[in-house]
């Protein structure tokens, strides 16, 4: 059986684009667009509970709120953290994103190492 793809949950489209630039393996990236309803969260859990799920959100208030919701509703998900000095995933340098993803055993483009 093929391995279930890894899932990375991000807030916005710019975060998704940034992460897509860096990764070097098939990963599904899901945008919450900043917030997520309980019904949408339930759908995510139902659909992806057998996958490796990573939450990579901004370090601002909205990102922390979203992270807390995932910790509460989807405790199986792993949390990835960017350095607070960048505040936003989209604003972090590719090299920083690459090292965060590499730390979670997600293959990244060699040029960012």
DSSP notation for 34-58: T---HHHHHHHHHHHTTS-EEEE--
**What are the tens digits of pLDDT across the range 30-88?**
999 978 999 999 999 999 999 999 999 999 999 999 999 999 999 999 999 999 999 99
Average pLDDT over residues 13-40: 94
DSSP 67: H
Q: Cα-flanking dihedrals φ and ψ of residue 54, to 5°?
A: -120, 140
What's the number of CA atoms in the CB half-sphere (13 Å) around residue 40? 12
Give me the sign of the Cα torsion angle 98, 100, 101, 103. Answer: positive
pTM here is: 0.94
CA dist 93 and 26 (Å) reads 21
**pLDDT at site 5:** 87
Beta strands 27-31; 6-10: pairing state: parallel
């Amino acid at each position: 059986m093929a391995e279930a793809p890894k899932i990375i949950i991000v807030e916005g489209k710019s975060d998704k684009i940034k992460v897509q630039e860096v990764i070097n393996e098939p990963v599904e990236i899901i945008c919450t667009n900043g917030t997520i309803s309980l019904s949408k969260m339930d759908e995510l859990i139902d659909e992806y509970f057998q996958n490796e799920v990573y939450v990579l959100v901004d370090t601002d208030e909205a990102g922390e709120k979203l992270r807390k919701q995932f910790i509460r509703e989807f405790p199986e998900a792993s949390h990835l953290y960017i350095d607070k000095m960048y505040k936003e995933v989209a604003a972090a340098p590719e090299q920083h994103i690459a090292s965060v993803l590499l730390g979670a055993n997600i293959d990244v483009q060699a040029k960012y190492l």
